[in-house]
Amino acid sequence: MAAKIMIVDDEFGIRDTVSRYLTRHGMDVVTACDGNECIRNIMGGFTGIVILDIYMPDLNGWETIREIIKRGFIERILIIMLTAASSIDEKEEELKEYVLDYIPKPADLKELAEAIKNYLQYFDDEKKSDK
């Protein structure tokens, strides 16, 4: 399955705005309203970059990362945190190695798209090394 972008945020406006922008710039985007939907998408075969909010009801961003690791999906995805959090909580410090980038809200969409394009190179390079 080709690499995609998944935007995981409980705020519809953020999911919609970021999704529309990235889609207009040629990216294949899916959205999830919470961590549980994110996990279901990954279980369904999603491979790519997960743009993950920290503050969400039910399964927050950190809990979602723990679930991704527990289920063995971390090898199929890259995680970018798009969040209003100003710093990492000390109790989440051990998870920071699984997060590729932290982008503060409100994000500059042009910069976000450029960063994502660079990170998608990982999946292109991985395909080349599989041959």
Whether 17 has a pLDDT exceeding 50, the answer reads: yes
Q: For residues 38 and 122, give the distance between their C-alpha atoms in angstroms, rounded to a whole number.
A: 21
Give pLDDT, residue 45: 94
Look up tokens 């500059």; give the residue.
Answer: 108
Q: For residues 93 and 28, give the distance between their C-alpha atoms in angstroms, rounded to a whole number.
A: 31
Question: Alpha carbon 118 to chain centroid distance?
Answer: 14
Task: Kindly indicate the confidence band of residue 35, based on its pLDDT and cuts at 50, 70 and 90.
Answer: very high
DSSP 57: S
Residue range 45-102, pLDDT digits in tens: 999 999 999 889 989 999 999 999 999 999 989 999 987 765 556 666 678 778 888 8
Give pLDDT, residue 1: 46
**Complete domains list, the chain, with CATH:** 4-130 (3.40.50.2300)
